Structure 1
Amino acid sequence: MRKLTYFVGASLDGFIADKDGNFDFFPVGEDVLAHLVSEYPETLPAHVAPHVGVAPDAEFRHFDTIVMGRATYDPALREGITNPYSHLRTYVVTTSITDSPDPEVTLIAGDPVAKVRALKAESTGKGIWLAGGGRLAGSLMAEIDELVIKTYPILMGTGIPMLSGGFEVTAFTRTGGTVLRHGASVATYRRT
């Protein structure tokens, strides 16, 4: 069974973006990029990866599939990038886009839980990266097996929370973590 991992960046107070969906104020310094390049190169957009040192033949250890919501997909789409993670099998949960702008991007208009369960049940493959956003993560909470949270040393006070919607309290066990040079941290948790 494949794992669903919510891999996300957040403020100290648990917000993944401001109320308008902007997240460019997160202090993604060289230390954060170096960590991503060495540990999670598949989480870097395909058009960015070569510019930060990800080799074309880099080994992707964690994920071969990405599931994201429409708001997470939109910034790339606004820039004319129809498949920002072309090195991964890409799914976008949306009810407002009816035709995929890219033949390699599969739209999920129906129940995302059913689709994620089907992806998890596949007999081969690596993990599934849940890239966001907060509402989608909340709706998939029962399916999340692992959390990887990049925490940036800022407080926002308001914005889009890491999780929203109705779900049950769920226990996770911390399985690892790294504090980076300029104060960001990356912590991993698995469902208890």
Structure 2
Amino acid sequence: MRSLTYYIAVSLDGYIAGPDGQFDAFLAEGDHMAGIWERYRGTAPTQLAEAVGLPLDGGPFDTVLMGWNTYAVGMPDQHRPSPYQHLRQIVFTRTHEGPPGSEDVTFTGSDPVAVVRALKEEDGKDIWLCGGGTLAAVLAEEIDRLALKINPVQFGAGIPLFGTRAYAPAAWRRVDTTAFDSGVVLAEYRRP
């Protein structure tokens, strides 16, 4: 059975974006980049990875899930309607249609839990939840692994890692922790 991994950058105070949705305070350069890419290859948008020479094959995921707001971040000018062309892309939205050029992206208003449960039954590599916090809150019980790129910044407010929905406390087992000189810590957890 495939597993769902919530792999995402997060601030020290638990936000995946600032109050206005900004995430530019997360470190995009430093010794953590190569180490994290080796572990989570294929998690950069296709055009970006190709432009900087990052290999896209051999990664742990073949499917990426995101909410509309996460999807929309990558296409402010509508020139990147299919950000992860090398992966199966599913965007959860009840109010938006896919823009022109997004034919290889699935837009769905279906229940995210039902979709994830069906995906887990399929053959293939693991599934990557890349955002956002609201979708992560809905899928909290379905997430099998957390891979948190903890950045040495504080936002003070913004989009919480697991949105604002109330859910039962859950214990996680640490799988690995890697600290980099940049100050970024890759912390990986699995459900016990």
What's the TM-score once normalised by structure 2's chain length? Answer: 0.93
**Which whole-Å CA distance do the structure 2 matches of 1:99 and 1:75 have between them?**
14
| Corresponding position of 2:151 | 152
**Which whole-Å CA distance do the structure 2 matches of 1:93 and 1:55 have between them?**
27
Helix, strand or coil at the partner of 1:119: helix
Work out whether 1:73 is the aligned partner of 2:89.
Answer: no
Conserved? CA contact 2:6–2:145, under 8 Å: yes
Considering only aligned residues, what root-mean-square deviation do their CA atoms show, in Å? Answer: 1.4
- Partner AA of 1:90 in structure 2: Q
| Corresponding position of 2:132 | 133
Conserved? CA contact 1:65–1:128, under 8 Å: yes
| Stretch moving more, 103-112 or 2-11 | 103-112
Helix, strand or coil at the partner of 2:81: coil
Gapped regions of structure 2 (runs ≥ 5): none
Gapped regions of structure 1 (runs ≥ 5): none
Misfit runs of 4+, over 4 Å: none
Identity of aligned residues (%): 42
Q: CA deviation at 1:49?
A: 0.8
Q: CA deviation at 1:100?
A: 5.5
Q: CA deviation at 1:177?
A: 1.5
Work out whether 1:95 is the aligned partner of 2:81.
Answer: no
| Corresponding position of 1:26 | 26
| Stretch moving more, 75-84 or 106-115 | 75-84
**Which whole-Å CA distance do the structure 1 matches of 2:150 and 2:111 have between them?**
30
Q: CA deviation at 1:42?
A: 1.0
Aligned residues: 189
| Corresponding position of 2:84 | 85
**Which whole-Å CA distance do the structure 1 matches of 2:50 and 2:111 have between them?**
35
| Stretch moving more, 88-97 or 76-85 | 76-85
Helix, strand or coil at the partner of 1:20: coil
| Corresponding position of 1:44 | 44
